[in-house]
Amino acid sequence: MSEPSLSPQEEIAILKEQLTRAQRMAALGELTGTTTHEFNNVLTTIVNYAKLGLRHKDEPTRDKALDRILKAAQRAERITNSVLGIARNRKEEFAPTDLSQLVEESLVLLEREMTKYRVAVNKDFAAAPPVRALGNQIQQVLMNLMTNARQAMPNGGQLTLRIAHDEQANLVDLTVRDTGGGIPREKLPRIFDRYYTTKSGPDATGKGGSGVGLSTCRDIVEAHQGRMRVESAIGKGTAFTIRLPVWVEAASDADATAPVAKLGVPTA
C-alpha cells in the first residue's frame, strides 16, 4: 500500500521544521566559531608571553610576561563561564531568566570583536525582575542583534544595551541600539521578512547576509508572548527592542511545557 499523500499544510509544517533545524545548526556553528576564535586569541597571547618570559631573565620583563599571562588566563575563564552559561540555558522549558546575565555572557564572546571594530559598549541596566523565557533562545536573539549592530558600524561607534522594567505592563524591555547609518524608511517594513537582507553577504568574520536572522528573532520573541519593534533614522542609527513578560510563579506549572522549543536554537 502506498503511503497517504501529505496535505499542503503538513508539507509546509515539515518544511518549516527543516528550516528551523538548519537555522539551529547554523547558529551552533557560528557560536562554535566565535568561541574557538576567542580561545585561539587567548592561547596565542599566553604562548607568546611565556616565550618572552623564558627568553629574558630580568625581573621586570618576566613580571610583565606573567601579568599578561594572568590576564589572558582570566579572560579564558570568563569565556568558559559564558559558554557554561549558554549550556545551562539549554533547558527546553520556560524558566525565570535574568536578562542582564544573558547580556554579560554574550558580551564576553563578542568583546574582542567589538574592540577590533572600535565599537564602544554602553550598558544601561535598570533593576528588573526575571522574565519568562527559554534562555538559549533569547540569547540567540541577543547575539544576532548585537552582531547586526556591530556590522552597522564598520568605522566604529557606540553600542548601547538597555534594560528597563515596565511595571504597568508587567514586561521587561531589552534594547540594542547602534549609532550606524540607519535603515531607509522604505526598507523598514520588510526587514523581518524571511530571506530579506540589506547586506551584500557575510563580512570578514563570516557573519551576516543570509536574511533569516531577524525573521527568526521575531518568531522566537513572539513565541515567548513578547513583542519586537525597531526604530531607525538615517545617519543616527537603529534600535531594536524586545519586550518579554515577567516571570510569574503562579503560572509556571501551566506554561513550562509550552511547545516553543522548535524555534531556531543554538545548542552549545
Where is 36: in which H helix or E strand?
helix 8-55
Over residues 62-73, the pLDDT tens digits come to 899 999 899 888
Reading across the β-sheet that carries 157-166, which strands appear in turn? 119-125, 157-166, 171-177, 237-245, 227-233
Taking the C-alpha atoms of residue 144 and residue 162, their distance in angstroms, rounded to an integer, is 16
* Global pTM value: 0.69
Taking the C-alpha atoms of residue 135 and residue 224, their distance in angstroms, rounded to an integer, is 11
What was the pLDDT predicted at 266?
A: 36
What was the pLDDT predicted at 111?
A: 86
In this structure, CATH architecture of domain 9-268: 2-Layer Sandwich (3.30)
Cell of 87: 549550556
Taking the C-alpha atoms of residue 171 and residue 160, their distance in angstroms, rounded to an integer, is 20
What was the pLDDT predicted at 260?
A: 43
Q: What is the pLDDT along the chain (268 residues), one digit of tens a residue?
A: 555 677 877 777 787 777 666 665 665 566 666 777 778 888 898 999 899 989 998 988 989 999 989 988 888 887 777 777 666 656 668 889 999 999 998 898 888 889 999 999 999 999 999 999 988 889 889 989 999 999 999 999 999 999 999 999 999 999 999 999 999 988 888 888 876 565 554 555 555 544 457 888 898 899 999 999 999 999 999 999 999 999 998 644 444 444 443 343 333 3
Ordered by start, the domain boundaries in the chain are 9-268
Helix axes 135-151, 213-223, angle to 10 degrees: 150
What was the pLDDT predicted at 20?
A: 62
CA-wise closest residue to 241 among 145, 192, 173: 173
What was the pLDDT predicted at 106?
A: 87
Q: Is 261 helix (H, G, I), strand (E, B) or coil?
A: coil
The β-bridge partners of 42 are none
Over residues 186-204, the pLDDT tens digits come to 888 888 887 656 555 455 5
Is 219 within 8 Å of 16 (Cβ atoms)?
no
Q: Is 47 helix (H, G, I), strand (E, B) or coil?
A: helix
What was the pLDDT predicted at 6?
A: 79
Per-residue three-class SS string for 167-231: CCCCEEEEEEECCCCCCCCCCHHHCCCCCCCCCCCCCCCCCCCCCCHHHHHHHHHHHCCCEEEEE
Is 228 within 8 Å of 177 (Cβ atoms)?
no
Taking the C-alpha atoms of residue 249 and residue 92, their distance in angstroms, rounded to an integer, is 17
